[in-house]
Amino acid sequence: MSETATHCPYCALQCGTRLSHDAGRTTVRPDAAFPVNQGGLCQKGWTAPALLDTPGRLTRPLVRGADGQLAPAGWDEALDLIAGRLERIRAEHGADAVGVFGGGGLTNEKAYQLGKFARVALGTSQIDYNGRFCMSSAAAAGSAAFGLDRGLPFPVTDLAAADVVLLAGANPAETMPPLMRHLAGPRLIVIDPRRTPTAEAAALHLQPTPGTDLALALGLLHLAVTEGRADREYLDKRTAGFDAAWRRAAAWWPERVERVTGVPVAEMREAVDLLAGAERAYVLTGRGAEQHSKGTDTVAAFINLALTLGLPGREGSGYGCLTGQGNGQGGREHGQKADQLPGYRMLADPAARAHVASVWGVDPDALPGPGRSAYELLDSLRTAGGPRALLVFGSNPVVSAPRAARIADRLASLDLLVVADFVPSETAELADVVLPVTQWAEEEGTMTNLEGRVLRRRRLLPPPGEARSDLDVIHGIAVRLGQDPARFPTDPRTVFEELRRASAGGRADYSGISWERLDAGEALHWPCPEAPAGTAPHPGTPRLFLDAFAHPDGLARFAEVEHRDAAETPDADYPLYATTGRVLAQYQSGAQTRRVPELAAAAPGAFVEVHPDTAARLGLRDGRPARVSSARGSTLATVRLVPSLRTDTVFLPFHFAGAGRANLITSAALDPRSRMPEFKVCAVRVEPAEAAGAEL
Amino acid sequence: MSAGEVLVVGGGSAAHRFAERLHHHGHRGGVTVLGAEPAAPYHRVLLASVLDGTLPPAALELPALPDGVRMHAGTTAVRIDRARRLVHADDGSVHRYDTLVLATGARPALPRIPGLPRPGTSDAVTALRTLADAERVLRADPDARRTVVLGGGLLGVEAAAALTRAGHEVALVHRGPHPLDRHLDADAGKLLAGRLAGLGVELHCGREAAAYCAGKLTLDDGAVLAADTLLLCTGAVPETALARRAGLAVGTGVLVDGRLRTDDPRIHAIGDCAEHPGAAAGHLEPAWEQAESLARQLTGAGPREAGYRGTRCVTRLRVPGIDLVRLGGRPAGGSGSGAGAGAGAGSAEVVTVADPARGRYARLTLHGQRVTDAVLLGLPRAIAALTRLHEQGLPVPAGRLEFLLGIEPAPPGADELPGDAVVCRCNNVTKHAITEACRAGAADVEQVAAATRATTGCGGCTSTVRSLCGMARTGGSTS
């Protein structure tokens, strides 16, 4: 029997697990010693071994033949074909005619290498990733407020000692259940339009109209001030910009906020009393606050609230974002984002370009500038000026991108679509070339969890068939494009050593982190710069901002934010709000979890939650199919009657494929700064689908 | 269309919002604002927060107007020359316009009381309209804090409560049978009176002021109230003098059409000075919506270009601890989305809940499941939810009483759970699976976890699993 200590393949908690293989069977058990999950694991984690021999697992490259069918091919054939077509497209249409789309589930080494590959081997500016759909709003707001974005600027275990935790648009009881172990002690204030399992666990549940969280946050700040709860000493010593922020919040007296949000004034007062009365309190945001066309401002408004109460940068209190994807944190630090370079450096910053170019051995001027954001990149495919070829790594935008029918159409129209994945995802099904890659238990690398702690992913099993690491794929294409093979190593540890140098001096400095230190069991949170020779190694930074925020003057910045409506509000044609989200037994686009029989049994297909009154009015029956339509399209889902739901809102999970894709209806309105799409609110109508003979 | 040179007369919330939104929607012509008050624009609606000491006057200041807007504070427009499209101000300045927007607001309606000094001439007697008025009250001698508030409308009630919070001894004199009698029936009014008395406000209802003399207000029944400060909250009248002098059509306010135009197409009016059939006078929301609508109209920004069709009337008392709302009812002859919409769509349904011992009261009039008129007191969740439904024009849930009382079904105890109920959500383990595991020999939570994975996710179901184990051991109901 072989056993290895690794981490769950799914969310940003990265629960510690012990994975063992015995007599052809792989089993997992939670690692009781890992502080993040403390021996806990949800159904996804327990069933993760089923992913390793999941039906349809990709084991050989596939190339679309003249007959239009994907057929097995050799690696050389597939890679030669890709390189040849890329060369031709680049020669005819320029470097930006090739795009790259990455994922927040890729290891740090892969994310780093992918960004380098795009900028150096392809010379394209057109790279972004699905993390743009995840926590980009929190990243933008956090960077602006604190000068640095790390999801939780404190260890997750700190939460357990809090008196009060406010969760704005987060539902960890379903999305990352073991996190709730740290939230069992604090009194919870949950802001969510739905009465989620997390809301049920709360001392106070504020249930705003979808798209009005920003008004609610402004109202809470207003009350904190009028109730005399503002921490004036902290405001003076540690922050800048309060007055301008207040001048906006001044207009959001609680009765006005109640009218806009539907949250009772009394409950807002209770929330402020709870938060301000706590010795130790945290404000945390999740996708519910962030996935809006005003997501950055909404997060900023919650940060403003936390700053007014004096929470951030104080041990035992603070603000944080609950990052979603497995490597959502590391994935946004190492250069697969359209505007960033490794170490959380900005691509537009000449000094950052010079540093990274020197590590890469290229001329800084040869590095392309910032490119399109995820949705804009996908939306532009095969349009005038948009890429004609796209390489997708670890992402399934046919299901996960907003306005999914449009995106599927754009992907299908490409001259060349290459998808590297380990399952035949809906996006892979559209590809010209599909490359089979390794997954968690078959590879080595590092991941960075939601608290900025760097973790080792370890290999237990050899990859099946001809599957190769994404690093091999990148190497294979780069070399065929004429790159020096040494520039794109395939050994993850070698890549990490280079990542250390590239990140040195950046905001997310990993230079002091080594695989040896991680393997020795050290808990290392970035920034962790390399210590000068002869001195003790840097211990990492579990808690940021205790002495100063990361702006040059050390002060946190208030943001002057104002509420505005969602891009779309209900009207006569589309009279209801729709909001989208997750269920416990599925992960992201479901490409992995829908293939795990136990999970598929627990959450078998698309559904739409509807209030019984709304259902009665619309002629919808429990368990029967309904068509949910927006200005962009329709999706089919089974009706679920939920008495705790708002009568003006329906809810759809987005994990399902085909005609049940929730993203067929979602809005592509983007946040002006983070370029986050408005997944969380659009206007719809719902009607019985039986008449049309639809079967789910 | 191009609005050209835009001149706004008035420096209050409506004017400020209009100038801000005009810029937001892309107007690049000149904008000039003439504000009569010397102070920079501020939130008039927050004056009660100044009275009760929770906000300093400076905290009421509105955000700076966009660059390029010329703001003249302390400048009162005195004459409009419509032929030359000029406005003359009291400081001798003259301002040209292509588009003129009147946002002159309202002024206090002052009662005729023998002996009453002209407000503004003494700190002891003041209306409550401006920041200067509130500051006058704040200047009152700390040892002379007997305050009489005259007028039990919204402003009077809020001011009385605020001053009580600030430590004043407050008497509220109101001519109606109870405070807010324009909004509340007798039952609700009685409850409100009780709540105000509970805050320490001394109520004198059904009374008129008969005379004032040197810090004493005599009522029509002969009672004499000591009034170190007399605060006049006796209503407001639209400020229409400028429009009237210019020959514009004026009713109660400056008459405007659906495009917020006066009878001179170059002159618009918004906010408290304007009279539109779908907007309640004296409310901020209609003023803001009019500002937004007019800004869109003048810049050609869609999709609300079609104009202003009215604002649903929501009258929400702003007194901490007293949750009270009146929905609908006010604007007479409202059309479109204004209050009164839906009236006539079927016969009325009236729902009444009275729980005076707990201070709770609701009276709803519904047409076609939608609220056309409602009063709610002491029901904070229903107030918030019903206000939203009213704003959106949506039906009230069929379970009227559960909705009004905010009742949620209690979570069942373990022994009441059906067998197929999921006990451990994180691992999708049913009660049945747990009891089966117990039957097969699992004796405690750990053994149940080993057999079913229940409790291994968030751990929240541990106590339920423990009690199911216990029941299995003692042979309790596990069906």
For the four alpha carbons of B108, B113, B114 and B117, in that order, the dihedral sign comes to: negative
Question: Do A175 and A218 belong together in one domain?
Answer: yes
- Chain A closest-CA separation from residue B457 CA (Å): 4
Does the distance separating the beta carbons of B457 and A43 come in below 8 Å? yes
Residues of B with Cβ-Cβ distance to A46 under 8 angstroms:
427, 453, 456
Does the distance separating the beta carbons of B316 and A251 come in below 8 Å? no
- Chain A closest-CA separation from residue B367 CA (Å): 16
Residues of A with Cβ-Cβ distance to B426 under 8 angstroms:
40, 42-43, 173, 177-178, 584
pLDDT per residue as tens digits for the range A258-312: 999 999 999 999 999 999 999 999 999 999 999 999 999 999 999 999 999 999 9
Q: Is A45 left (phi over 0), alpha (psi -120 to 50) or beta?
A: alpha
* Residue B197 backbone phi and psi in degrees, to 5: -60, -40
Residue B117 lies in a domain: no
A40, A173, A174 ranked by CB distance to B456: nearest: A40
Interface test with B, best of A229, A253, A611 (most B CBs within 10 A): A253
On whether the CB atoms of residues A16 and A30 are closer than 8 A, the answer is: yes
Residue A530 lies in a domain: no
Q: What is the pLDDT of residue B84?
A: 97
* Section B420-449 average pLDDT: 93
Residues of B with Cβ-Cβ distance to A211 under 8 angstroms:
none
Residue B453 lies in a domain: yes
On whether the CB atoms of residues B276 and B260 are closer than 8 A, the answer is: yes
pLDDT per residue as tens digits for the range A668-678: 999 999 999 99
Residue A538 lies in a domain: no
Question: Do B99 and B200 belong together in one domain?
Answer: no
Q: Using the predicted structure, report yes or no on whether residue B344 has a pLDDT greater than 70.
A: no
Q: Who wins on pLDDT, B415 or B19? A: B19
Q: Using the predicted structure, report yes or no on whether residue B129 has a pLDDT greater than 50.
A: yes
Q: Using the predicted structure, report yes or no on whether residue A514 has a pLDDT greater than 70.
A: yes
Interface test with B, best of A167, A232, A242, A265 (most B CBs within 10 A): A265
A610 touches chain B (CB under 8 A): no
Residue A547: CB atoms within 10 A of its CB come to: 8
Q: What is the pLDDT of residue B336?
A: 37
Residues of A with Cβ-Cβ distance to B388 under 8 angstroms:
209, 259, 261-262, 648
Q: What is the pLDDT of residue B473?
A: 75
Residue A564 lies in a domain: no
Tokens of A598: 């136990």
- Chain B closest-CA separation from residue A232 CA (Å): 14
Q: Using the predicted structure, report yes or no on whether residue A133 has a pLDDT greater than 90.
A: yes
Residue B125: CB atoms within 10 A of its CB come to: 25
Residue B271 lies in a domain: yes
Burial of A237 (0-12, 13-18, 19+ CB in 10 A): exposed
Query: Which B-chain residues 243-282 have CB contacts (< 8 A) with chain A?
Result: none
Nearest to B401 by CA among B344, B371, B362, B430: B362
Does the distance separating the beta carbons of A259 and B388 come in below 8 Å? yes
pLDDT per residue as tens digits for the range A485-497: 999 999 999 999 9
Does the distance separating the beta carbons of B384 and A262 come in below 8 Å? yes
Q: Mean of the per-residue pLDDT values for chain A? A: 96
Residues of A with Cβ-Cβ distance to B453 under 8 angstroms:
41, 43, 46
On whether the CB atoms of residues B120 and B126 are closer than 8 A, the answer is: yes
Does the distance separating the beta carbons of A30 and B54 come in below 8 Å? no
Residue B55 lies in a domain: yes
Last residue of a domain, which of A322, A356, A391? Answer: A322
On whether the CB atoms of residues A178 and A38 are closer than 8 A, the answer is: yes
Question: Do A47 and A74 belong together in one domain?
Answer: no
Question: Do A23 and A73 belong together in one domain?
Answer: no
Q: Using the predicted structure, report yes or no on whether residue A587 has a pLDDT greater than 50.
A: yes
Distance (Å, whole) CA A234 – CA A549: 13
Q: What is the pLDDT of residue B338?
A: 38
pLDDT per residue as tens digits for the range B264-284: 999 999 999 999 988 888 889
Does the distance separating the beta carbons of B459 and A184 come in below 8 Å? yes
Distance (Å, whole) CA B404 – CA A382: 55
The three-point CA angle B50-B19-B1 to 5° equals: 160
On whether the CB atoms of residues B269 and B243 are closer than 8 A, the answer is: yes
Distance (Å, whole) CA B89 – CA B79: 7
B451 touches chain A (CB under 8 A): no
B54, B453, B460 ranked by CB distance to A228: nearest: B54
Residue A357 lies in a domain: yes
Question: Do B221 and B242 belong together in one domain?
Answer: no
The three-point CA angle B340-B342-B344 to 5° equals: 95
Residue A563 lies in a domain: no
A266 touches chain B (CB under 8 A): yes
Query: Which B-chain residues 390-409 have CB contacts (< 8 A) with chain A?
Result: 391-392, 394-395, 397-398, 408-409
Residue A559 lies in a domain: no
Those residues with Cβ within 8 angstroms of residue B357's Cβ, 6 or more apart along the chain or in another chain: none
Question: Do B99 and B16 belong together in one domain?
Answer: yes
Question: Do A72 and A153 belong together in one domain?
Answer: no
Residue B94 lies in a domain: yes
Q: Is B266 left (phi over 0), alpha (psi -120 to 50) or beta?
A: alpha
Cα separations (Å) of A332 from A153, A449, A521, B257?
Answer: 15, 12, 24, 54
Nearest to A452 by CA among A160, A188, A177, A148: A148
| Residue A232 CB-half CA count within 13 A | 4
Task: Report the CATH number that the domain containing residue A43 is assigned in CATH.
Answer: 2.20.25.90
Question: Do A296 and A278 belong together in one domain?
Answer: yes
pLDDT per residue as tens digits for the range A396-436: 999 999 999 999 999 999 999 999 999 999 999 999 999 99
Distance (Å, whole) CA A542 – CA A524: 7
Last residue of a domain, which of A467, A491, A515? Answer: A491
Residue A328 lies in a domain: no
Task: Report the CATH number that the domain containing residue B435 is assigned in CATH.
Answer: 1.10.10.1100
Question: Do A6 and A151 belong together in one domain?
Answer: no
Number of compact structural domains in chain B? 4
Residues of A with Cβ-Cβ distance to B392 under 8 angstroms:
570, 648
Those residues with Cβ within 8 angstroms of residue A482's Cβ, 6 or more apart along the chain or in another chain: none
Question: Do B131 and B182 belong together in one domain?
Answer: yes
Residue B115 lies in a domain: no
Number of compact structural domains in chain A? 4
Does the distance separating the beta carbons of A585 and B457 come in below 8 Å? no
Q: Is A280 left (phi over 0), alpha (psi -120 to 50) or beta?
A: beta
B60, B459, B460 ranked by CB distance to A250: nearest: B60
Residue B124, Cα to own-chain centre: how many angstroms? Answer: 29
On whether the CB atoms of residues A80 and A450 are closer than 8 A, the answer is: no
Those residues with Cβ within 8 angstroms of residue B359's Cβ, 6 or more apart along the chain or in another chain: B191, B194, B195, B377, B378
A174 touches chain B (CB under 8 A): yes
Nearest to B282 by CA among B306, B311, B309, B258: B311
Question: Do B86 and B163 belong together in one domain?
Answer: no
Does the distance separating the beta carbons of A177 and B384 come in below 8 Å? no
Residues of A with Cβ-Cβ distance to B304 under 8 angstroms:
none
> Radius of gyration (Cα) for chain A, nearest Å?
24
Residue percentage of chain B with pLDDT more than 70: 93
A250 touches chain B (CB under 8 A): yes
Tokens of A4: 């290895």
Domain that includes residue B145, residue range: 125-234
For the four alpha carbons of B3, B4, B8 and B9, in that order, the dihedral sign comes to: negative
pLDDT per residue as tens digits for the range A614-629: 999 999 999 999 999 9
- Chain B closest-CA separation from residue A262 CA (Å): 5
In this structure, the strands spanning A682-688 and A649-653 are unpaired
- Chain B closest-CA separation from residue A449 CA (Å): 18
On whether the CB atoms of residues A346 and A340 are closer than 8 A, the answer is: yes
Residues of A with Cβ-Cβ distance to B46 under 8 angstroms:
250, 253
- Chain A closest-CA separation from residue B318 CA (Å): 7
Q: What is the pLDDT of residue B414?
A: 63
Does the distance separating the beta carbons of A248 and B60 come in below 8 Å? no
Q: Using the predicted structure, report yes or no on whether residue A29 has a pLDDT greater than 90.
A: yes
Q: Who wins on pLDDT, B417 or B209? A: B209
A613 touches chain B (CB under 8 A): yes
pLDDT per residue as tens digits for the range A309-342: 999 999 999 999 999 999 999 999 999 999 999 9
Nearest to B133 by CA among B144, B141, B125, B145: B125
Residue A498 lies in a domain: no
B59, B320, B384 ranked by CB distance to A263: nearest: B384
Burial of B266 (0-12, 13-18, 19+ CB in 10 A): middle
Q: Using the predicted structure, report yes or no on whether residue B477 has a pLDDT greater than 70.
A: no
Task: Report the CATH number that the domain containing residue A212 is assigned in CATH.
Answer: 3.40.228.10
Task: Report the CATH number that the domain containing residue A683 is assigned in CATH.
Answer: 2.40.40.20
Question: Do B373 and B463 belong together in one domain?
Answer: no
Does the distance separating the beta carbons of A251 and B43 come in below 8 Å? yes
Question: Do A276 and A374 belong together in one domain?
Answer: no
Residue B68 lies in a domain: yes
* Residue pairs between chains A and B whose CB atoms are closer than 8 Å: 131
B59 touches chain A (CB under 8 A): yes
Q: What is the pLDDT of residue A224?
A: 98
- Chain B closest-CA separation from residue A519 CA (Å): 26
Q: Mean of the per-residue pLDDT values for chain B? A: 91
Distance (Å, whole) CA A389 – CA A408: 14
B305 touches chain A (CB under 8 A): no
Q: Using the predicted structure, report yes or no on whether residue B371 has a pLDDT greater than 80.
A: yes
Residue B299 lies in a domain: yes
Last residue of a domain, which of B362, B384, B405? Answer: B405
pLDDT per residue as tens digits for the range B186-220: 999 999 999 999 999 999 999 999 999 989 999 99
B60 touches chain A (CB under 8 A): yes
On whether the CB atoms of residues A397 and A101 are closer than 8 A, the answer is: yes
On whether the CB atoms of residues A108 and A96 are closer than 8 A, the answer is: no
pLDDT grade for B1, boundaries at 50, 70 and 90: low
Residue percentage of chain A with pLDDT more than 70: 99
Question: Do A162 and A283 belong together in one domain?
Answer: yes
Does the distance separating the beta carbons of A250 and B457 come in below 8 Å? no
On whether the CB atoms of residues B79 and B99 are closer than 8 A, the answer is: no
- Chain B closest-CA separation from residue A662 CA (Å): 23
Does the distance separating the beta carbons of A644 and B63 come in below 8 Å? no
Distance (Å, whole) CA A626 – CA A189: 33
Q: Before B303, cis peptide (omega within 30)? A: yes
A237 touches chain B (CB under 8 A): no
Question: Do A287 and A385 belong together in one domain?
Answer: no
**Minimal Cα distance from A183: which residue of B?**
B458
Task: Report the CATH number that the domain containing residue B27 is assigned in CATH.
Answer: 3.50.50.60
Question: Do B226 and B129 belong together in one domain?
Answer: yes
Q: What is the pLDDT of residue A450?
A: 97
Domain that includes residue A629, residue range: 576-688
B453 touches chain A (CB under 8 A): yes
Residues of A with Cβ-Cβ distance to B428 under 8 angstroms:
43, 584-585, 598, 602
pLDDT per residue as tens digits for the range A453-480: 999 999 999 999 999 999 999 999 999 9
A41, A200, A226 ranked by CB distance to B49: nearest: A226
Last residue of a domain, which of A262, A296, A322? Answer: A322
In this structure, the strands spanning A576-581 and A649-653 are parallel
Question: Do A312 and A169 belong together in one domain?
Answer: yes
Q: What is the pLDDT of residue A468?
A: 98
Question: Do A122 and A140 belong together in one domain?
Answer: no
Question: Do A104 and A243 belong together in one domain?
Answer: no
Q: What is the pLDDT of residue B143?
A: 84
A265 touches chain B (CB under 8 A): yes
Task: Report the CATH number that the domain containing residue A351 is assigned in CATH.
Answer: 3.40.50.740
Question: Do B103 and B131 belong together in one domain?
Answer: no
Last residue of a domain, which of B405, B429, B455? Answer: B405
Provide the H-helix boundaries in A208-253: 213-226, 232-238, 242-249
Does the distance separating the beta carbons of A584 and B425 come in below 8 Å? yes
